[in-house]
Structure 1
Amino acid sequence: MSSIAVPDHESAAVTLEGKRSLLKLARRMMDNFCAGVSASSAREWSKLDGLTGSIGADVRVMVRKSVDEPGVPPGVVLSAATSVWIPVTSERLFNFLRNEGLRAEWDILSNGGPMQQMIRIAKGQMDGNSVSLLRATPTSTNQNSMLILQETCTDESGAMVVYAPVDIPAMQLVMGGGDSTYVALLPSGFAILPDGPSMGGKTTGSLLTVAFQILVNSQPTAKLTAESVDTVNNLIACTIKKIMVALHCDV
């Protein structure tokens, strides 16, 4: 790891061209996330059975094949999404999900420890609007060859936390101001909507949408297997349960 030139602290020196390239990549990540969770007449959601009883929500899945798409890994991509009501304010939920120090409480990509914020680029005046580059704490079995690109945004209408694993050589290129067009991204994340203004001073809840995009096979001609569906099914249920436990909600 010592031979890899990755910044070791927040606000590390990145050229103006590097920041522009990073912001451009983050914009594509957000666009891909929104497109990946949007249905159409050609790509429709299918309902997954078996989760309603465990998290009180339906999980929907959608499959697409990626072939020669710049910036998207080739193969079979499975999208899964669900929405669930959580009895905490949208501000508290947003601040929890964007906190890299608490990420291990819900994210398997964290290696079970807090993530380090390598770079943070503010977008606008609000504290919650930024693009950041995160790195998981290395373990003996994982020497941390991966980073997390994340964008967070919030306003009065709601908030989003969107992220994607990216490899270190690709981010070296981007931080040096290189072209980010061909950096492969498969973003996942959260959309948070407040459930309305508080009534009589009572705390309101939030509607949390969780969406994952996973490459289940690197061959575009491969068939989707039941094991792949079970894997993403379990991942989305486990993530929601962990969030609820961390925020002291009844599961």
Structure 2
Amino acid sequence: MYRDIVNNAIAFGAERWLMELRRIGERCGSAALEYMHFYDNGVITLPEGRRCVMKLAHQVLKEFSKNLTMSSKSDLPQYIADTDDSGVRFSIPKNRNLFLSNDPFIVIVASSVSLPLPSHTVFDFLRDPARRFEWDKFCDGNPWHEIAHISTGTHPNHYVSIIQPLVSPPKDGVKIIQECFIDPLGSYVVYSPLNTQELNMAINGHDLSNVSLIIPSGFLISEDSKSLSKDSKSRGSLLTVAFQMHMPAPLITNFESAADASNALMTTVVQSIKHALLSGSELK
């Protein structure tokens, strides 16, 4: 699916490296500022708190990227739940005998899909907290909203945000830290749930870069190779979805059952995204 993008140097070529260097440079510049005209909704009042939240979001992004490796050289074995050509892949840690323990364990599951929509349309949908309930079962059918917003660059869609349910906000429950980025070659929306206490510590200026409870998930979006051609009249995109999730060990008795559970989750999420995008105004 990504062969042409890789072979044409779009994925790893010089232009990609230059854009990445620019992204990091703008991010460092934003973090160094003592004052920004607008960077949140009143939740983050200290410059040090802004920097700690940005650092925490960067750690989420790094963990997300590491999880996507899924290679034979990584410390995570690769398994493929692909009996029906779904293309779903999942990894689990090697470091303990998972199925002889009653403790929940983490599974990393990922898949890619082609969509007949431009990448910026997919990006706008996935970053919108008000529409998150259309694909995220964790939302329980309720819209979420942004309570803090930190710019990480010159583009208005380069930012870190903190989101929570619009109805009955949690007091000691879970909120989500999310980072969004877009450039001419692609975009990402990466997030992790964190409990309110941890996020409050970061907001108050405490460094949480070594926090061990980060569970990153997210989306990578790219124009497909045909859309990037100057002669192309149609616009399509490639979407890679990757989740990290807890699985209750008593319910997962072997690798096959873990594969089935991973496949079911990913299939549900991808179908929900496709349904929301292809049946909504985005295609009109």
What TM-score do the two structures reach when normalised by structure 2?
A: 0.72
Aligned residue type for 2:264: N
Q: 2:268 aligns with which of 222, 238, 248?
A: 238
Alpha-carbon distance in 1 for matches of 2:230, 2:84: 31
Work out the CA distance in 2 between the residues paired with 1:188 and 1:106: 13
Matches within 5 A, 1:163-178: 163-178=191-206
Q: Distance in 1 between matches of 2:167 and 2:172?
A: 5
Amino acid at match of 1:49: D
Aligned to 2:81: 48
Q: Where does residue 132 of structure 2 map in the other structure?
A: 103
Q: CA 1:204–1:173 in 2, change beyond 3 Å: closer, same or farther?
A: same
The answer for unaligned runs of 5 or more in structure 2 is 1-39, 97-102
More displaced stretch, 194-203 vs 240-249: 194-203
Query: Could you tell me the TM-score, scaled by structure 1's length?
Result: 0.81
Runs of 4+, deviation exceeding 6 Å: none
Indicate the residue corresponding to 2:189 in structure 1: 161
Superposed displacement of residue 145, structure 1? 0.8
- Once residues 90 and 214 of structure 2 are traced to their aligned partners in structure 1, the CA distance between those partners, rounded to angstroms, is 19
Pair 1:50–1:15, CA change in 2 (3 A): same
**Greater Rg, structure 1 or structure 2?**
2
Give the Cα–Cα distance (whole angstroms) in 2 for the partners of residues 144 and 50 of structure 1.
Answer: 41
Deviation at 1:138, TM superposition (A): 4.5
Cα pair distance change 1:218/1:26, threshold 3 Å = farther
Counterparts of 1:1-251 in structure 2, within 5 Å, are 10-43=41-74, 44-52=77-85, 57-64=86-93, 76-138=105-167, 145-183=173-211, 184-195=213-224, 196-197=227-228, 202-216=233-247, 226-248=256-278
Cα deviations by residue, 1:186-207 (Å, 9 ceiling, x for unpaired): 1000000101336666331100
1:12 deviation in Å? 2.7
RMSD: 2.8
Question: Once the 2 structures are TM-superposed, how far is the Cα of residue 162 of structure 1 from its aligned partner?
Answer: 0.5
Task: Return the structure number with greater strand share.
Answer: 1
Deviations 1:59-113 (A, max 9, x none): 111111579xxxxxx9632111111101100010000100111111111122211
Greater share of helix: 2
Output the CA distance in 1 between the equivalents of 2:219 and 2:111. 10
